[in-house]
Amino acid sequence: MAMAWRQIFTNTKRAFSIPPERAVSTPGLSRFFSKSSSPYLVKVGIPEFLNGIGKGVEAHVTKLESEIGDFHKLLVTRTLKLKKLGIPCQQRKLILKYAHKYRVGLWRPRAQPVKAS
């Protein structure tokens, strides 16, 4: 019985594996990940970060700069600290959500703020 399962697993692994000559080149992928235009800031601080989030969070720039001071400390700040600073719940959620996305590398504030219409 164990031998039969082992054969099933190895056969499916071979069936779904990509041959090396096809795994090296992906021609259509380069158009999605071009490095030619980068609409992102080089230096990110607390004001740029909060302005990039928007949605009323930028009103707390002076409070967070005076109490936390450093952008990297803001990235690891917990919700209780933000609550003690008097930041409302929805805005705390936004700050923490975008801080996590920034740490992981999924989001960065844009160089030009998006115009609200």
pLDDT at 4 over 80: no
Q: Which residue has the higher pLDDT, 28 or 3?
A: 3
Q: Which residue has the higher pLDDT, 84 or 15?
A: 84
String of DSSP letters for the chain: -HHHHHHHHHHHHHHHPPPHHHHH--GGGGGTS--S---B-SS--HHHHHHHH-TTGGGGHHHHHHHT--HHHHHT--HHHHHHTT--HHHHHHHHHHHHHHHHTS---BSSPPPP-
Q: What residue spans define the domains of the chain?
A: 46-104
Instruction: Indicate the fold that domain 46-104 takes in CATH.
Output: DNA polymerase; domain 1 (1.10.150)
pLDDT band at 40 (very low <50, low <70, confident <90, very high): low
Average pLDDT over residues 87-99: 94
Average pLDDT over residues 96-108: 92
Residue 49 structure tokens = 């970060």
